[in-house]
C-alpha cells in the first residue's frame, strides 16, 4: 500500500500498539486516539518521537476531535475503530462506557470516515457468537448471546457496532470492513487485565498457583498478535472494488481446553507449579474456535505462529517487565 493517513482509535491498547508499530514501519502516518481507560500511556510513549505519529487524548464516545487543519490539512484514508475495553474484568468494571464506545463511539468514527471518504474498519469480536451452539464458528452463524447477562455490555455493544457499520455502508455508501477477532495475545497486554493469558503468565512468573476457572474443559483458540496484524493489513489492502463488507473472522483455529492451556504455560515457565480451580464466571462460553475459510480465500491469510512459539515470546516480554519493576 502507498503511504496512507490512518486514524486509529484505541491506539494505546494492546492491539492498537502493535498496529501502530506495523503501520509506521510500513511508511504510513498514524493518528492515535485513546482515553487510557484500559490502555497504557507507555504504549503511546513508544512512538512519541516518530515523525509520522500523532496522538489525541480523547473519549471517542464524546467525539473525535480530529481537525485536518491541525494536521497539515491531511485527509484521512482509513479510520480504524479499536477503542473498547476488551478484557472481561475491564468491561464489567465499565459496562456503560463499554456500551457507549461500541454505540456512540462507533458512530463518531463512522461519521469521521464518511466525512473524509475514508475506509472504515471495525474491530468486532468472536463474542458476537456468545456461547456458541455451532462449532467452529463461521461468519454466517448469528450467535447465542444473553442480552442482559454480565457479558452483554460488551457482546451487544459489538453487535450494535456491526449493525451501525452496515447501516453506514448501505445508507451512506461508506467503504466498511469488519473483522471478528478471536482471543489474541502477545507482548504489551496489560499484565493486570485479568485475561487468562496474562493471569496465568504473571501467576507462573510469581511462582504460582495458576487459577483455572471451573473444570477447565471450556475451550479457546489463541492467536498471536502479529498474525492478527497481518490479517488486518491484508484486509485494508483490498481495493474497494474487491472488498468484502461482510465480517471476516481472524483467529487461530488451534483449540485448547483452558486446563491444557494452563499446562502449556506451566511447561514453559516452571513444570512443578500448582494449578487450582476457582468458580467459573457466569455466561462463560463453553467453546470457541474460528472457521477461517473466508479469510483464507479472500485474503490468502492464515496464522503462522503456533501457541508455544507465541507464548515463549510473550513470557519473555513479561519476564523483562517483571525484572524491570
From ligand NAD, ligand UDP, none, which one binds at residue 184 (CB under 5 to 8 Å depending on kind)?
ligand NAD
Strand order in the sheet with 176-181: 53-57, 29-34, 5-9, 78-81, 119-125, 176-181, 247-250
Establish if 184 lies at the interface with ligand NAD (CB under 6 A): yes
Q: ω before 47 within 30° of 0 (cis)?
A: no
Nearer Cβ to ligand NAD, position 47 or 273?
A: 47
Q: Whole-number minimum distance, CB 62 to ligand NAD, in Å? A: 8
**Cell triple for residue 7?**
486514524
User: Which of ligand NAD, ligand UDP, none does residue 213 bind to, with CB < 5 to 8 Å depending on kind?
Assistant: ligand UDP
Cα angle, residue 87 at apex, residues 95 and 18 outer, rounded to 5°: 125
Binding mask 78-107 for ligand NAD (x = CB under 6 A): ----xxxxx--------------x---x--
| Alpha-carbon span 100 to 144, nearest angstrom | 22
Total number of residues shown for the chain? 325
Is the Cβ of residue 80 or residue 174 nearer to ligand NAD in the bound state? 80
Q: Would you give the binding string for ligand NAD spanning residues 203-242, x where CB under 6 A is met? A: ----------------------------------------
Q: Does 88 bind ligand UDP (CB under 6 A)?
A: yes
Give me the helices (H) in 71-145, please. 88-93, 95-116
Angle at 87 between CA 175 and CA 32, to 5 degrees: 45
Stretch that binds ligand UDP, among 77-85, 169-177, 277-285, 305-313 (CB under 6 A): 277-285
Grid cell locating 247: 465480517
Instruction: Determine, following the binding rule CB under 6 A, whether residue 132 of this chain makes contact with ligand NAD.
Output: no
- The answer to the question of residue 107 lying near ligand UDP (CB under 6 A) is no
Q: Which of 38, 44, 124, 218 binds ligand UDP (CB under 6 A)?
A: 218
The answer to whether 36 is a known catalytic residue is no
Q: Which residue has the cell 477503542?
A: 83
Which residue among the candidates 66, 91, 129, 154 is catalytic per the annotation?
Answer: 154
Q: Is 220 exposed, middle or buried (0-12, 13-18, 19+ CB in 10 A)?
A: buried
Catalytic residues: 154
Amino acid at each position: 500500500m502507498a503511504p496512507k493517513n490512518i486514524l486509529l482509535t484505541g491506539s494505546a491498547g494492546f492491539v492498537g500498539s502493535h498496529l501502530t508499530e506495523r503501520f509506521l514501519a510500513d511508511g504510513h502516518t498514524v493518528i492515535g486516539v485513546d482515553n487510557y481507560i484500559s490502555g497504557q500511556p507507555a504504549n503511546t510513549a513508544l512512538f512519541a518521537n516518530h515523525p509520522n505519529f500523532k496522538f489525541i487524548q480523547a473519549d471517542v464516545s464524546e467525539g473525535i476531535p480530529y481537525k485536518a487543519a491541525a494536521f497539515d490539512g491531511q485527509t484521512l484514508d482509513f479510520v480504524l475503530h479499536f477503542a473498547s475495553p476488551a478484557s472481561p474484568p475491564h468491561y464489567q468494571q465499565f459496562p456503560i462506557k463499554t456500551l457507549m464506545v461500541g454505540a456512540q463511539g462507533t458512530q463518531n468514527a463512522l461519521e469521521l470516515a464518511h466525512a473524509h471518504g475514508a475506509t472504515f474498519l471495525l474491530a468486532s469480536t468472536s463474542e458476537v457468537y456468545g456461547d456458541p451452539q455451532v462449532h467452529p464458528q463461521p461468519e454466517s452463524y448469528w450467535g447465542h448471546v444473553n442480552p442482559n447477562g454480565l457479558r452483554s455490555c460488551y457482546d451487544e455493544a459489538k453487535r450494535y457496532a456491526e449493525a451501525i457499520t452496515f447501516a453506514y455502508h448501505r445508507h451512506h455508501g461508506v467503504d466498511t470492513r469488519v473483522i471478528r477477532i478471536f482471543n489474541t495475545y502477545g507482548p504489551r497486554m496489560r499484565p493486570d487485565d485479568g485475561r487468562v493469558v496474562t493471569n496465568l503468565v504473571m501467576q507462573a512468573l510469581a511462582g504460582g498457583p495458576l487459577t483455572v476457572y471451573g473444570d477447565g474443559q471450556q475451550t479457546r483458540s489463541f492467536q498471536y498478535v502479529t498474525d492478527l496484524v497481518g490479517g488486518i493489513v491484508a484486509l485494508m489492502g483490498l481495493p474497494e472494488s474487491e472488498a468484502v463488507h461482510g465480517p471476516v473472522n481472524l483467529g487461530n483455529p488451534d483449540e485448547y481446553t483452558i486446563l491444557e492451556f494452563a499446562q502449556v504455560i506451566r511447561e514453559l515457565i516452571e513444570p512443578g507449579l500448582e494449578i487450582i480451580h476457582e468458580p467459573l464466571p457466569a455466561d462463560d462460553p463453553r467453546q470457541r474456535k474460528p472457521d477461517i475459510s473466508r479469510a483464507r480465500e479472500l485474503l490468502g491469510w492464515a496464522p503462522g505462529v503456533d501457541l508455544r512459539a507465541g507464548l515463549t515470546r510473550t513470557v519473555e516480554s513479561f519476564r523483562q517487565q517483571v525484572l524491570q519493576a
